[in-house]
A and B are shown apart, each in its own frame.
Chain A
Amino acid sequence: MPVGITSYGAYIPIYRLSTQTLTQVWGGFAAPGEKAVANWDEDSLTMAVEAIIDCLNGMDRELVDGLYFATTTPAYREKQSASIMAKVVDLHRDIVTMDIANSLRGGSIAMKAALDAINAGSAKNFLVAAADCRVPAPDSTFEQLFGDGAAALLLGDADIAVEIEGSHTIFSDFIDTWRREEDRYIQAWEDRFIIEEGYLAHLVEAISGLFKKYNVTPKDFAKAVFYAYDSRRHAEIARRLGFDLKTQVQDPLLSAIGHTGTASALMMLVAALEEAKPGDRILFANYGDGADTFILRVTDQIEKVRDRRGIKRHLASKMMAPNYGKYLHFRNLMEWLPVRQPPKYAALTVSWRDRDWILSCRGYKCKHCGNIIFPPQRVCSYCQAKDDFEEVKLSDKKGTLFTYSLDNLGVTVDPPSVYAIVDLEGGGRFATILTDRDPEKITPDMRVELTFRNFHEGQNIHNYFWKCRPIRA
């Protein structure tokens, strides 16, 4: 029975930091380019939610049987991210959720595990998401290289857009980069060692093993998508394996979004699928603690999962981080003056009771008067009927900015806080904060969409909820 990818999605945060901004601060040299940086209210969890929503566009999320989430930068060290994400995208309750942490190869490990579940018959449709928001040490090579992003794949055994024809995996105890519990920044051994003995050797070994196992050669592939350590060594892999860099090899996106850690190879795969034609055969290989390799074949079904923001549209929609100071605030990289105002209010009891609207973004539709109420109320705001509502999902609604204010008084990482009153298409009013915005370009009546973000860290909890943002192209 064939199994494969039935849908795909990706997410790139709107902010980009140019390498020039970094050299202005630190001096030295950097190749021209930019990297995607998560806004201060984003993390691996919120970015993965975005990629999943992109992936599930037009799909029936009731059919999803499981969610594996791969990251090296989970929102909590103890507390699963995937279970929160499943609630946010409103998957049904009796599914398996799992975080796959600690390996940059986690995305393809998650793919393997999900495919095994489908092949074993315990699931029919499985979501795999990968995201990372790795914080490089300031003034390091990694600072020029690392970017933030997410990708998601839906795997299944029906309506397959990309069939998995074969796979081959190796594990390795090789250590190239690492981060201990008590380390803030990622460390690395001498690059000549980790590239030659690690990246190049392992990836070539695994891909060669795949070629041998299935008796294929580079000529059998329209496109090769493989993990990049950096641009130069990515090209070296192509040379060693015999792929034509210009025509056959997927660009690693490093100069546009940077190296997005666990998400990197999956984002490259999404970029390749956006261009792929039915019949194309694609090599997909991921590296980290060993390597996973896959032979993929694109089917006619690919044309039915085109309406995605994916990589291409997210790339085109961007704002430059104006300076390095802004980035320091986004990643909380300095010791700031203590805030004199009282701490932000947070209570897990309230967040739990209200999870159906705080996380799942469900509003009420009054069965008496038909009006949509958000957040849900026991007594209808319009007709005062009591406890007589049906739930409606609001997170995919677009809306219009009814009014707003640009507040510099409240405590926020990136003032001004833009308080926004949004009227949703199809009814309902949503009071929230406008993010990913240029304060100079906000106007009444501007069109917005909802986006899942971290509001604040009160009580040392990530207090997530839905914000709005100008619609991304």
Chain B
Amino acid sequence: MAESMKDKVAIVGMGCSKFGERWDAGHADLVIEAAYEAYEDAGVEPKDIDAAWYGTIGNLGISGIITSSPMTGAGLAAPLKLQYKPVTHVENACGTGEDALRNAAFSLAAKAYDLVLVVGVEKLKDAGFGGLGELGLYCNPVYMGGITAPGYYALAATRYFRKYGIAPQDGKRMLAMVSVKSHHNGARNPKAHLRREVTVEQVMNAPIISWPLGLFDCCGVTDGAAAAILCRAEDAKHYRDDYMLIKGLGLSIGPGQGSIRTDYDYTFWDETYYASREAYAQAGINNPRKELDLVENHDCFSISELIACESLGICERGHAREDIESGAWTQEGEIPINLSGGLKSFGHPIGASGCRESYEIYKQFQGKAEDSSRQLKNPRMGMVHNQGGGPGMFMCAVCVYGLPQ
């Protein structure tokens, strides 16, 4: 019979490359930066690794997204010179990183291996154009053809405004407040991509990428990698005392019917709801707003953070505006959201983001947030929300992390 994943798997080492437009670094450099930091952090040698999970979206045929990451597990084995170890390539769009961690955790729970490496990585900035390319989610020459990621999420923003009776300029202001918070956090995070504070006016007046989303409503297109070393919980103390435990894992894939069913309303992520409730059930969380000390939320766009928080149950539906206006999600607020700067400001190398979000929780738990002004006081429970696709056709991976008792 299936068992909860609570307290079965621990993360004992993590690494994260500098995020940004890394003109100096190729795929291999990013992988090495993240993996060797993780080795050192865990105090292990490359030869100690039994198996690895490689999260990258790598070379999609129909999608216009260009990434220079190899397709097979050689994307890790080759740069790291892993010697004939099993390496699995996980691809699940923008939620790839967290899903790679999840599958690695299952291998440990199944006692197939003792120590495993997960690296999420994306090298996007060899593409030659700004933004990501057009998505190919429906694999059809014309149906939803040519739609971009911001074009997709903007459908949700437009409807959100309409549903809650928010005038366009007020809606833009609400979204701008999300980005101002993200940039404020990212500006103080040394490894973040976009390290500049912005004002509400700057965000509102930025060029429109996909109305109503402007440039500062969109996350960075970023090169980067993040790595984790995992073992079973009972072995964690061999490596360190301040390890991080997986408390609950959830994954939900929507049947892609938002563009088909008239009862889908674009203002709520069902996949996020189901993935988070699965994770909460395992972790024993009843009130995420009260029980979680911080949340890394997949804010690829400003509107995503708002709707994801509603779908995660951090606030009621239609009430995200009150939270962003009251400062409830700031570092000093009731529940800090995207203290790292989020995808918005820390950056979003697609396959890396889930691991990178976990890295923020891990460092906060250990009291090692880079730049001490960012450090929370004794956080004990945190959550990573990582999703891919678009409204109406999402995948969503959620992981609740906690400290050992």
Contacts and interface: CB of A to CB of B under 8 A. Distances in A.
Interface string B140-181: 111111111011111111110010000000000000000000
B154 to A, nearest CB: 3
Interface of A: 340-342, 344-347, 350-351, 354, 358, 371, 373-375, 377, 381-382, 402-412, 416-417, 419, 421, 423, 427-429, 431, 433, 439, 444-445, 455-456, 458, 463-465
Q: Which of A340, A405, A439 has most B Cβ within 10 Å?
A: A405
Contacts of B72: none
B209 interface: yes
B208 A406 contact: yes
A414 to B, nearest CB: 13
B211 A410 contact: no
A405 B154 contact: yes
Nearest to B130: A409
Given A341-B133, A346-B141, A358-B142, A406 B154 contact: yes
Nearest to A340: B129
Contact of B158 (A405, A423, A429, A439): A405
Contacts of A354: 140
A351 B150 CA distance: 26
B248 interface: no
Given A409-B210, A421-B266, A345 B151 contact: no
Interface stretch (B253-261, B315-323, B332-340, B376-384): B253-261
A405 B145 contact: no
Nearest to B132: A409
Given A406-B154, A410-B134, A429-B259, A342 B146 contact: no
Nearest to B264: A429
Given A344-B145, A431-B144, A463-B142, A407 B150 contact: yes
Nearest to A453: B142
Given A340-B129, A341-B133, A410 B147 contact: yes
A350 B148 contact: no
Interface of B: 62, 64, 66, 127-129, 131, 133-134, 136, 139-148, 150-159, 162, 207-213, 255, 257, 259-262, 264, 266
Nearest to B129: A340
A344 B144 CA distance: 12
A358 B255 CA distance: 21
Contacts of B140: 350, 354, 375
A407 B155 CA distance: 10
B259 A408 contact: no
A417 B151 contact: yes
A429 B393 CA distance: 15
A405 B259 CA distance: 14
A404 B158 contact: yes
Contact of A345 (B62, B148, B154, B213): B62
20 contacts: A340-B128, A340-B129, A341-B129, A342-B64, A344-B145, A345-B136, A350-B141, A373-B260, A402-B159, A403-B162, A405-B212, A406-B154, A407-B209, A407-B210, A407-B211, A408-B210, A409-B150, A416-B211, A444-B159, A465-B142
A410 B259 contact: no
Contacts of B129: 340-341
A342 B66 CA distance: 8
A433 B150 CA distance: 15
A87 to B, nearest CB: 15
A409 B208 CA distance: 9
A301 B61 CA distance: 56
A410 B159 contact: no
Nearest to A433: B146
Nearest to A429: B262
B155 A405 contact: yes
Nearest to B144: A431
B146 A410 contact: yes
A386 to B, nearest CB: 13
Contacts of B208: 406, 408, 416
A61 B380 CA distance: 69
A405 B211 contact: yes
Contact of A444 (B133, B141, B158): B158
Q: Which of A341, A381, A407 has most B Cβ within 10 Å?
A: A407
Given A407-B147, A407-B148, A411-B146, A377 B128 contact: no
Nearest to A458: B141
